[in-house]
Each structure stands twice: as C-alpha cells, then as structure tokens.
C-alpha cells in the first residue's frame, strides 16, 4: 500500500471518532462494532476492513492517543526525552502514563477488554515496555528489568486506574505511581538497602 485513499482516510477518521464518542457516553463495555459502524455512518464491513477486528480498532485508537508520548520519549526534551538521567526519565514517563491513563480510562478499559490476553503483543504496549525495560535495566541491574517493566505497566491496568481515580481522582493515581516508582530508584547514600549481586 503506497498511499491511503481519500475516502478510506475519511471513513477511518469517522470510525475512530465514533468510537471515542461511544466510549465517552457509555462507560460500560458493551460497545458493539455494529453500534460504532452505525454511529460512524458506515457499514460494519468497513470497520473490519480497516481495523481487522474489534481489538484492532481499540488498539489503533490507543496508539493514536499514545503518539504524543512516544514522540516525546524519542525526540522530546528532557526529562521525558533523551538526555536526562534514567531516574528522572523513569519518573517523567510514569507521570506521563498516569496522565494518559487518567484521561483515557474508558479507552484503556475497552482496549484491555478487547485485546484480552494478547495485550503484550500490542505495538503500543511493546514500545512502552521496551522503554521501561531499558530505564529499569540502567537504574537497577539487580532487578529483572523486563519483568519489572511489565509490572509497572500493570500499574496502569484499566480497572485499577478506574478505581483509583474514582476514589481520589487523577491526583491520587499520579501520587501513588510516583511514590511507587521511587521505590525502584537506586538507594542513595542514606539508604542502606543495597541489593545484592
């Protein structure tokens, strides 16, 4: 595919927009592909053609939302972008994720629901995981960086995020994540907990 046809791009945008609308209105999961297609004013086949499956639709929507963070990680200014020390980047990245999660709770829920067990293969998830893995690896060679990266991403689990912001708002989420992240930072001079080899 060299370039996307004009009508395809238009319908693609309409479908994504319709999905957003429905996610905003209905917090509950039952957002059927039919309802999305109907609201977008296109046939159901179009949705499946463009996104492959229900999962693919939410995946792509999440990817769209995650674009900004991804770009800032790669080319943005410190501390989120390259150049800052790993500890600062880690905190900045988790802050960004917390922001994203707090403002897209329902999308996360839908994405989690749709992607089910395959969420580890989601491109967005993989990118985030890779970023975390590298930072953690630099900060704490004593930890299983890959595993810890997954656990940190699990801290933004849709249901957990929803419950947390429902009882404390986005601030509580950010604070909790931040406090948790600091536990992973290497201990300073006054911290005696020195991990073994």
Partner DNA sequence: ATATAAGCGAGACGGTACGTCACGTCTTTAG
Partner DNA sequence: CTAAAGACGTGACGTACCGTCTCGCTTATAT
Contacting residue, 76, 99, 160, 170, with a copy of itself by CB under 8 A:
160
Instruction: Please give the backbone phi and psi of residue 42, each rounded to the nearest 5 degrees, phi first.
Output: -125, 170
- In contact, 138 and 186? CB cutoff 8 Å: no
- In contact, 122 and 169? CB cutoff 8 Å: no
The answer to whether residue 6 forms part of the interface with a copy of itself (CB under 8 A) is: no
Q: Out of a copy of itself, DNA, none, which partner does residue 188 contact, by CB within 5 to 8 A per kind?
A: a copy of itself
Q: With CB under 8 A as the contact rule, which of the stretches 9-17, 45-53, 56-64, 160-168 interacts with a copy of itself? A: 160-168
Q: Coil, strand or helix: which one is 30?
A: coil
Contacting residue, 94, 98, 100, 184, with a copy of itself by CB under 8 A:
184
- In contact, 62 and 108? CB cutoff 8 Å: yes
Query: Is the Cα torsion angle 131, 136, 141, 143 positive or negative in sign?
Result: negative
Q: Out of a copy of itself, DNA, none, which partner does residue 63 contact, by CB within 5 to 8 A per kind?
A: none
The answer to whether residue 26 forms part of the interface with a copy of itself (CB under 8 A) is: no
- How far is residue 9's CA from residue 11's CA, in Å, rounded to a whole number? 5
- 41-70 residues in contact with a copy of itself (CB under 8 A) are none
Question: What are the structure tokens assigned to 88, written together?
Answer: 């600062």
Binding region for a copy of itself (CB under 8 A): 29, 109, 112-113, 116-117, 119-120, 140, 142-144, 147-148, 150-151, 154-155, 157-160, 163-164, 172-173, 175-176, 179-180, 182-189, 191-197
């Amino acid at each position: 595919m060299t370039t996307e046809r004009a009508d395809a791009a238009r319908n693609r945008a309409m479908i994504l927009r319709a999905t957003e609308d429905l996610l905003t209105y209905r917090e509950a999961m039952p957002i059927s592909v039919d309802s999305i297609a109907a609201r977008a004013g296109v046939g159901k086949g179009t949705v499946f053609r463009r996104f492959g499956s229900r999962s693919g639709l939410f995946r792509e929507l999440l990817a769209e939302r995650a674009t900004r963070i991804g770009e800032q990680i790669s080319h943005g200014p410190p501390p989120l972008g390259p150049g800052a020390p790993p500890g600062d980047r880690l905190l900045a990245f988790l802050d960004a994720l917390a922001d994203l999660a707090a403002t897209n709770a329902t999308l996360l829920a839908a994405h989690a629901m749709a992607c089910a067990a395959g969420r580890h293969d989601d491109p967005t998830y993989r990118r985030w995981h890779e970023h975390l893995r590298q930072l953690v690896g630099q900060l704490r060679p004593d930890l299983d960086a890959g595993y810890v990266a997954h656990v940190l991403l699990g801290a933004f689990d849709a249901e957990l995020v929803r419950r947390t912001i429902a009882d404390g708002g986005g601030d509580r989420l950010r604070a909790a994540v931040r406090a948790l992240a600091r536990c992973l930072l290497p201990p300073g001079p006054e911290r005696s907990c020195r991990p073994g080899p």
